[in-house]
Chains A and B, each alone.
Chain A
């Protein structure tokens, strides 16, 4: 038998290659982004001194900076007067806040749709499918995820677009007499497309946590006189919450950073934060501002994820 220290040494030796690769390709670049985001930017270069200007500029609007308006009290006055339209105007004229807000809105909607649609299917496969057929069902659900993402997104454009499949079917059946052209509602089409693309991501974690639910607890609940629906609400649902939480995070985080769908579906007219990061970094070549925007997006997404985890902490851990 090996001693404890030699075992640790072998373990470290084996983990070193993947750990070093991940460190060089992930940690170092992320730190660089954070450093760049507080440096002074000029076209194609960054330099000292350290500055908070890039983060300050995130709050820029067409007519002055929101932080200044908070400072001089004009936004508070609007709040007091309940001038919601005025406040909406300010935010829609703040380009960076607008794309961050849009990305978060899209991600929240997509998460809601995918998780709500996924729960019944995960429940069905876990509780109503013979165990020998479960992996076949999971295989069927995961196959679409493994087909080219670009092609799936582009397909939605041909389905939703002007005279596309939705339009030609509705008009052919005589339900509509003009083109609906769902695609012109940019954000709606983006939400539909992403909800389809991320569907399997939500099913798998929920399925795994439902599989772990002890079936004898359900029988006990019903023996003690609870209805099926109440047993579900009081036993199955709380016990499957870790899977739901995992599904929410797995869908929310990447959809908030999605780049392809706004580009292909929204034709660049409804950019989300990733599209703006590209504009800042590659078109304006303002590395400092691009880094600050990427860092802000990461921080906002991380804060929302942590807040969500804290709100649901009673479901995670704490059980035997």
Chain B
């Protein structure tokens, strides 16, 4: 470790740039003024009350929870299948098929949303929460595949062979040995895909046919200057929740690595 005071100063400034806008959230969510500007005028919690009292928020939250819980479950299951297949088995055309499954990671969301919208309209399928789930499933599955792949890669194959040698069936080996060992990966995949889905806007907006969904609701409210402080209050709560969920996901990820006896070598992705 060499000393690099210049780089360290830069690193701190960089973090300040990353966090600056987010610190605005609590600062102005508790500020007793309808306009978001300095100087601060006084402490209030009325914006939280205003936000809480809006019935549309609760409708949007209910829809969002239905969508995100379904998406997190489904994409984690798909990620589990894909990761198990690519890590454990050799089969032809693996690289192109896996690359294809990961493709949504590098496609603009607008392209995904618009091409799905065209197909749904062509097939005459009405837009609903269900179509949003389909779109989110496509976006979230690659994240789950990446997380589950790293969980399966750190799995020692001799454990599985030992169980089979000792007379377990493949199914009971999977249930008794593999599943518990990759469980931390499953939990972190579930939490991360849930977070991505609940934040996602473009698919929710275009495939949701105007249903109240959390991100669409927030987008709409920000168009009215008078609603901005109560949206900052909502944002404060959401950011707090996101950080909690991520901290839990990170905890499980590290515990997973520790349980298998591996060395921690980085964060998400």
B138: chain A residues within 8 A (beta carbon): 21-22, 25-26
Question: Which A residues touch B232, using CB under 8 A?
Answer: 158
Indicate whether A30 reaches chain B with its CB closer than 8 angstroms.
yes
User: Which listed residue, B19, B90, B104, touches A8 by the CB 8 Å rule?
Assistant: B90
Q: Quick check: A121 and B10 within 8 Å, CB to CB? A: yes
Contacts A14-B85, A22-B101, A287-B118 given; indicate if A147 touches B36 (C-beta within 8 A): no
The closest CB in chain A to the CB of B249 belongs to A146
- In the complex, the answer to whether B266 meets A154 with C-beta atoms within 8 Å is no
A32 close to B218 (CB less than 8 A): no
Asked if B201 and A260 make an inter-chain contact with CB atoms under 8 angstroms apart, the answer reads: yes
Provide the bound-state CA to CA distance between A249 and B102, in Å: 14
What's the Cα separation between A147 and B20 when bound, in Å? 13
The interface residues of chain A lying within 8 Å CB-to-CB of B107 are: 26, 253, 257
* Per-position 1/0 for A208-229, Cβ under 8 A of B: 1001000000000000000000
CB-based nearest A residue for B18: A144
Nearest chain A CB to B199 CB, angstrom units: 5
Q: Which residue of A lies closest to B223 (CB)?
A: A264
In whole angstroms, how far apart are the Cα atoms of A159 and B94 in the complex?
47
Are B106 and A250 closer than 8 Å at their CB atoms?
yes
CA A149 – CA B204 in complex, angstroms? Answer: 13
B192 closest partner in A (C-beta): A146
Q: Are A159 and B222 in contact (CB under 8 A)?
A: no
Is there a chain B Cβ closer than 8 Å to A247's Cβ? no
Chain B, range 85-130, C-beta contacts under 8 Å to A: 85-86, 88-92, 94, 97, 100-101, 103-104, 106-112, 114-119, 121-122
Taking A18-B81, A168-B37 as contacts, is the C-beta distance between A11 and B141 under 8 angstroms?
Answer: no
Q: Give, as a whole number of angstroms, the nearest-CB distance from A20 to chain B.
A: 10
* Cβ contact within 8 Å between B38 and A259: no
Distance of A225 from chain B, by nearest CB (Å)? 18
Partner of B267, one of A135, A144, A163: A135
* Cα of A183 to Cα of B84 in the assembled complex, Å: 49
How many interface residues does chain B have, given as a range? Answer: 35 or more
Point out the residue from B103, B108, B254 that lies within 8 Å of A256, measured CB to CB: B108
Asked whether, in the complex, the Cβ of A158 is within 8 Å of the Cβ of B36, the reply is: yes
Question: A278 CB to closest chain B CB, in angstroms?
Answer: 8
Q: How far in angstroms is the closest Cβ of chain A from B200?
A: 8
Q: Are B37 and A259 in contact (CB under 8 A)?
A: no
Say whether A298 faces chain B, with CB atoms less than 8 Å apart: yes
Separation of A204 and B268 alpha carbons in the complex (Å)? 9
Interface string of B195-229 (1 = CB under 8 A from A): 10001111000100000000100110010000010
Tell whether, in the assembled complex, residue A148 and residue B117 are in contact, meaning their CB atoms are under 8 Å apart: no
Using Cβ atoms and an 8 Å threshold, which residues of chain A touch B110? 257-259, 274, 277-278, 294
Structural contact, A25 and B134, CB atoms closer than 8 A: yes
Contact assessment for A25 and B267 in the assembled complex, using a CB-CB cutoff below 8 Å: no
B4 touches A124 (CB 8 A): yes
Which chain A residues (4-60) contact chain B, with CB distance < 8 Å?
4, 7-8, 10-19, 21-23, 25-30, 32-33, 36
CA distance A26 to B116 in the complex (A): 8
The complex places the Cα of A176 from the Cα of B249 at a distance, in Å, of: 45
Q: Which residues of A contact B118 (CB under 8 A)?
A: 29, 32-33, 36, 281, 287, 290-291
Interface size of A in residues (CB-CB distance below 8 Å): 94
Q: Contacts of B82 on A, CB cut-off 8 Å?
A: 14-15, 18-19
Nearest neighbor of A107 in chain B, beta-carbon distance: B108
Q: Residue of A at shortest CB range from B24?
A: A155
Contact partners of A138 in chain B: CB under 8 A:
266-268
| Interchain CA distance A85-B50 in the complex, whole Å | 53
Chain B residues with Cβ below 8 Å from A16 are 81
Q: Is the CB of A15 within 8 A of B97?
A: yes
Residues of chain A within 8 A (CB-CB) of B18 are 141, 144, 196, 199-200
State the Cβ distance, B110 to closest chain A Cβ, in Å. 4
Asked if B21 is at the interface (CB within 8 A of a chain A CB), the reply is: yes
B177 lies within 8 A of chain A by Cβ: no
How far is A36 from B239 in the complex, measured between Cα atoms in Å?
Answer: 41
**B166 surroundings in chain A (CB, below 8 A):** none
A7 B90 Cβ-Cβ under 8 A: yes
The answer, yes or no, to whether B7 is at the interface (CB within 8 Å) is yes
Chain A residues near B39 (CB-CB < 8 A)? 168, 172
Instruction: Tell me the bound Cα distance from A121 to B18 in angstroms.
Output: 12
B contact residues vs A (CB 8 Å cutoff): 1-4, 7-8, 10-11, 14-15, 17-19, 21-22, 24-25, 28, 35-39, 77-79, 81-82, 84-86, 88-92, 94, 97, 100-101, 103-104, 106-112, 114-119, 121-122, 134-135, 137-138, 141, 145, 195, 199-202, 206, 215, 218-219, 222, 228, 231-232, 235, 238-239, 242-243, 246, 250, 254, 264-269
8 closest Cβ pairs, A-B complex: A257-B108, A11-B89, A11-B91, A14-B85, A29-B115, A138-B267, A168-B37, A274-B110
* Interface residues in chain A, defined as those with a beta carbon under 8 Å from any beta carbon in chain B: 4, 7-8, 10-19, 21-23, 25-30, 32-33, 36, 117, 120-121, 123-125, 127-130, 134-135, 137-144, 146-152, 154-159, 163-165, 167-169, 172, 196, 199-200, 204, 207-208, 211, 249-250, 253-254, 256-260, 264, 274, 277-278, 281-282, 287, 290-291, 294, 297-298, 301
Given contacts A26-B112, A138-B268, A165-B36, 17 further A-B contacts (CB under 8 A): A11-B94, A14-B85, A15-B82, A33-B114, A120-B7, A128-B2, A135-B250, A139-B267, A148-B239, A157-B222, A158-B24, A158-B36, A167-B37, A204-B269, A249-B106, A250-B106, A281-B114
